[in-house]
Structure 1
Amino acid sequence: MTFVLSIFAGRLIQMQGLDSKVYAAAAVDQRQHTEDIPAKRGSITDVNGNELALTVEAREVAIDPSKVVPAVRAKMATILARQLGKPEQEIAAKLARTSSRYQLLARDVDPVVATRLLQAGVPALSTKKTYRRLYPAGDLAGSLIGFVGDEGDGLGGMEQARNSLLAGRDGKQRVETGRDGQRIPMTSSQRTAPVNGQDVRLTIDRDIQWAAQKSITEQVRESGADSGTVIVMDVQTAQIIAMANGPELDLNNWRKAPESHYVNKAASDVFEPGSTNKVITAAAAMEAGAVNPDTVFQVPDNIRCADRVLRDAHAHKPESMTFRQAVAQSSNVATIMAARKVGSERLYGMLKAFGFGTTPGGGVPSAEAGLLPDYKSWSGSQACTVAYGQGVSVTALQMASVYQTIANGGVKVEPQIVAGITDTSGKFVPAAPGKQTKVVSTTTAKEITTMLESAVSADGTGELAAIPGYRVAGKTGTANRYDSELGRYEGYTASFAGFAPADQPRIVVLSVLQNPKNGHFGGQLAAPVFKDVMTFAIKSKKIPPTGSAAPPVRMRAGQ
């Protein structure tokens, strides 16, 4: 007995004396746990502060299956499934994993539901405070806003592009808990407070966004198009008032949506613009002094370019056309004639100056640069087709920027999508204005505007874009559409770009329809969308008619 007791005594001396600090530290490590304190994610609002994405308090609900006795397991599964909105089989399967001490039952649970479950006496149930993301406007600007995944990170659109700003920084708390995971009262704790995310205010106007989205979605359906896009932009600031796609992503059901809906096509889809691009050819020719609106061309309905014969959209006998008439009636042949007076190098330089081949700044998520081959690599026919918008590719955002530049007296402003953010004190901090670049002279911009105004008259291809009481300037576009999946040209891209009022421009609207089946001309399909959206926008912005009449111009060669 003495020998045995001496062994016990020695062991006690070792544990309580020599190694006491080691065991005490191990015990503390077992009791102490570090918990994350989630930061509240900032909101995304429209320009007027209306919330498009917001965060509300929620709960994660979990259970320890090892403490749920078999006799009540089926009953608990029924209660949990009913309250959490989950299949009963799924909950029952988790409760059956008795070798596990932790099973997550549901995320984003309403706090009221979580409290109700705790009061229902479900054994070994635990809840954790979290947050969940809500999108009260549903699919309004869905692909632009983006969404948040289960881990709390942005997975598209502004949610991803401004994730670090919106997410904030989680805090941490170190606490002591017992064997059952409950905190031990009166024990010490260390806490680092979370830093909540900041709010991001967009330049988007909720009402105009709704009108643009409604109009393009309806036209996509009626025309049988694959998709459509509308951009509304402020002329002076280049702030994007609306960026709509049809169909659009429903943010409250993003998991069920096809991946093609995740993409903000207005900024990322690349296409050949067609005749809306003719304003750049006109700008290059007029800046070079090679032509003016009254320059007369003898225009057949076809012209040879290297190994190809290129044609106007409609057959006609050779006729005398002023350059103004050629733009208004969208003559490919006359546009090629004007481009030849300039040369490929100058035309390429003007395309670059308008922003082609360069990713737009301003913070628009997923913005693409398009495709502008160097003029030295242009084929003989491409040197002609680029003049009327084939053989060069752009995004809707880039093309809207072209018309903003013309409407703004030749001054290109970097497009803006973020109006500002809140700082850590909650004060609103406006975003810096977009970079300004003089692209063409004020005189050239004004002359092109009068030509675009003629294009919306009864003598032009854009008559369906006219708005009673307002002077409207704009241009139709109809381009052969390259299908990357098929590896060939298939179908058309129909578009219309313009601004109003023509004499005091305030708003630019661009509408685009991809691969329509019921008709394909821009003046037929895209111009009515322009009219609908522009009419709503000028009423919403309370922009009155200027009261002036379009100046008399020489439309035809014989006048």
Structure 2
Amino acid sequence: MNPFRSTSARFHKKLLTKTMAIGVILALMGTACLIQLANVQLVNGKSMAQAAAQSRTITVTLKASRGKIMDTNGSILAQSVERYTIIGNPEEAQAFTPTTCTKQTGDNCHQIDGKPVGATGAAAVARLLAPVLDMDATELGAMLSGTGQYAVLKKDVTPAVKRKISKLNLGGIVYAELSNERIYSNGTLMGALLGGVDSEGKGVAGIEQMENKTLTGEDGYQVYQQGNNGVEIPGTMTESKDAVNGSDITLTIDHDVQWYVEKVLRDSCEKYSSPWGIAVVQDTQTGDILALADSDEIEAGSDQAKLTVSRAVGETFEPGSIGKVFTMSGMIQLGLHQASDKFTVPDHITVNGQTYSDATTHGDEHWTLAGILEQSSNVGMIIAGEKMSNEQRYDFIRKFGVGQDNGLGFPGESDGLLYSSDQWDLRTQNTVLFGQAYTTNALQLTNAVAVIANKGVKKPQRIIKTISDAEGHSEEQKPEGEATRVIDEQVASQVMNAMESVSDHYSQFVKVDGYRVAAKSGTAEVAGADGRLSSIISDYSAIIPADNPRFIVTVVLKDPQGGFGGLTAGPVTAEIGEFLMQKYEVPASSPRTDAIPVTW
């Protein structure tokens, strides 16, 4: 037997055995792979594909734009502009490795000023992003080094910056969410009156809050799959809903009139050393508010604007002698007097143990009721109102709108304070005759005087002119409430006549050349910082032109140097009136020929 052949046979036998064993193992492995493949494709394939698709599926919110606020002529006062919130994915950022730029990569690479990034992970992302966002790279790196997949990096980014970020090839790591920034075009013009919005775009003060529901749109959304670069995979959108923008609001406010009135107020506060002033301009025929101003300089949309109620809306005060217009109207309407009735008026009087005095010392004067209004005599009003019951005094003050909601709906607006007559003490029952012991605001006071201009009819005021939806459909807004008759036309005519005599009385200081004016001044003591009656309110309300009423102008000044309303608030009213006559090209007045005598 050949030993070599025996050894060779054993070797081939072992090799065959090993080969067969390996073949069996490979066969088993192949079978397992086939089984797994069949399991994936035939059994779990659908569910695994769905899971993969679900992991790539996102819902993107489509932000609705907030509606614009415009003046009566279409000038934009507030609008939302396209802005973006930049979002980072910390997990993806920390796994980021920059791609070196070569001829083969083209623009799909990362570099800074033509040089390699020089880092990886969140630090690399921060280095690329910092110059575009104008932020510190270290700060950005820290924001991207946290946990989770969502980190706000910067808000209110412009579309131009968003486009630059898109060119950084950081898809899936950094992306932009559409948002809106509220822009106010005129700085402090109507600052507190417009108010502002919070970080979520919700109106929180002023007109922004008052009309928030109208201005707010409805967000939409899109559901689609995104690739590794964060871009939508074409054809994968499964659901979508368009955003509906908020409606635009057009105010009755005239930008030019508002600007001029605010300027005049600020100049007048400086001239008379007054801490603040308020002014209202109202269209007599429509009840539209053309200007609602105060002297406070507050940036619209600022934190201060969001925390401050416009003084023109929220400030209340005793109207002082302007209130004599309401009680005189009541006396004539009740048939107790005519404007031509004659009275002998001393400078002081005592009733039920209470003494009342006029502002100046004088002897017994022979004044008609019209003369009592012209001279603004407190004593004369008490004498003339002797037969007017407390209930009647209360009713006429209230009928003119004092102490009532005017229907405009301003946040923070005060209705003033008018106690019912059964709560009046012995002094209050007489001081109400000359505009004290109750409070009002500038809007109420203006509309009350407008009753005389409108021949005895109280019309509702309006500040929202039209609302236009996202599709451009515009709807005229009617004022809240109905017109109501307060006094007869002939009564209003008598009071208007007497008010024109008041204006003539002040003509040396208060006049609008070429135009007749009917007016009433007021001065009232109010509580000062010390809690005592150490401050005054000076106010003046005018109807212009008196022979063809177009506008009511009311001015209120706090603690002006110069005292009486006719000498301080009066000239300011005239300055505004002159501007209105020129702007609206109102025809000059005809001469006055029917003045009711003021003395006898």
**TM-score normalized by structure 2?**
0.83
Match of 1:469 in 2: 514
Offset at residue 366 of structure 1 (A)? 4.1
**Displacement of 1:33:** 2.0
Identity of aligned residues (%): 31
Q: Could you say what secondary structure the match of 2:86 adopts?
A: strand
Is 2:315 the partner of 1:315?
A: no
Q: Which residue of 1 aligns with 2:489?
A: 442
Match for residue 61 of structure 2 among 36, 60, 64: 36
Flag the 1:182–1:332 CA change in 2: closer, same or farther, 3 A. Answer: same
Q: Per the alignment, do residues 76 and 509 of structure 1 end up closer, same or farther by CA in structure 2, a change over 3 Å counting?
A: farther
Aligned 1:226-237 pairs, distance under 5 A: 226-237=275-286
Give me the whole-angstrom Cα distance separating, in 2, the residues matched to 1:8 and 1:122.
38
Match of residue 502, structure 1, among 528, 546, 556? 546
Specify whether residues 286 and 63 from structure 1 end up closer, same or farther in structure 2 by C-alpha distance, changes over 3 A only: same
Q: Structure 2 vs 1, CA of residues 259 and 170 (structure 1 numbering), >3 Å: closer, same or farther?
A: closer
Report what 1:113 is aligned to: 161
Q: Is the partner of 2:392 in helix, strand or coil?
A: helix
Answer whether contact 2:299 2:305 (CA < 8 A) is retained.
no
Partner-residue secondary structure (3-state), 1:341: coil
Rounded to whole Å, the distance in 2 between the matches of 1:223 and 1:170 is 51
| Cα deviation 1:313-335 (Å, max 9, x = unaligned) | 12222322222121112111112
Q: Which runs of 5+ in 1 are unaligned?
A: none
Which of 501, 511, 514 matches 2:558?
514
Is 1:377 equivalent to 2:423 in the alignment? yes
Tell whether the 8 Å contact from 2:66 to 2:246 is kept in structure 1 after alignment: yes
1:49-73 deviation per Cα after TM superposition (whole angstroms, max 9, x unaligned) = 1111122222222333452679487
Aligned to 1:238: 287
Question: What residue is the counterpart of 2:576 in the other structure?
Answer: 533
Q: Distance in 2 between matches of 1:429 and 1:409?
A: 29
Cα separation, 2, equivalents of 1:430 and 1:372: 34
The 3 A distance-change label for structure 1 pair 488 and 35 is farther
Residue 395 of structure 1 is matched in structure 2 by: 441
Q: Give how far 1:292 is off.
A: 1.8
SS in 2 for 1:294: coil
Q: 1:368 to 1:94 in 2, by over 3 A?
A: farther
**Following the alignment from structure 1 to structure 2, what is the Cα–Cα distance between the partners of residues 343 and 365?**
36
Shift of the 465–98 alpha-carbon distance from structure 1 to 2, 3 Å rule, reads same
Q: 1:139 aligns with which of 188, 198, 206?
A: 188
* Distance in 1, Cα, partners of 2:503 & 2:229: 76
Alignment match, 1:416: 462
Q: How does 1:161-310 map to 2 (within 5 A)?
A: 161-178=210-227, 181-251=230-300, 254-255=302-303, 257=304, 262-306=308-352, 308-310=354-356
Q: CA deviation at 1:42?
A: 1.6
Query: Structure 1 450/84 Cα, relative in aligned 2: closer, same or farther at 3 Å?
Result: farther
- Selected match of 1:339 from 343, 364, 385: 385
Q: Greater CA deviation, 205-214 or 158-167?
A: 158-167
Q: Of residues 404, 407, 410 in structure 2, which corresponds to 1:358? A: 404
Equivalent residue letter for 1:438: R
| C-alpha distance in 2 between matches for 1:90 and 1:370 | 56
User: Match of 1:409, as an amino acid?
Assistant: K
> How far does residue 533 in structure 1 lie from its aligned partner after superposition?
1.0
- CA shift, 1:309, in A, is 2.3
User: Secondary structure at 1:351's aligned position in 2?
Assistant: helix
What does the per-residue CA deviation read over 1:399-446, in whole Å, with 9 as the maximum and x for residues that have no partner?
A: 000111110101110000011111453132212256211111111111
Aligned mates of 2:142, 2:577 — CA distance in 1: 55
Query: Is the contact made by 1:38 and 1:130 (CA closer than 8 Å) also made in structure 2?
Result: yes
Query: 1:317–1:8: structure 2 CA closer, same or farther, 3 Å change rule?
Result: farther
Structure 1 length-normalised TM = 0.89
| Cα 1:122/1:91, change in 2 over 3 Å | farther
Q: From the superposition, tell whether residues 424 and 101 of structure 1 become closer, same or farther in structure 2 (CA, over 3 Å).
A: closer
Task: Look at both structures and tell me which one has the larger radius of gyration over its CA atoms.
Answer: 2
Give the aligned CA root-mean-square deviation in angstroms: 3.1
The answer as to whether partners of 1:58 and 1:132 remain within 8 angstroms in 2 is yes
Deviation at 1:20, TM superposition (A): 6.4
Aligned to 2:452: 406
Which residue does the alignment assign to 2:566? 523
Cα distance between partner residues in 2 of 1:9 and 1:490:
99
Q: How many residues align?
A: 549
| d(CA) in 1 for partners of 2:134, 2:213 | 32
After alignment, is 372-381 or 352-361 more displaced?
Answer: 352-361
Asked if 2 retains the 8 angstrom alpha-carbon contact of 1:46 and 1:52, the reply is yes
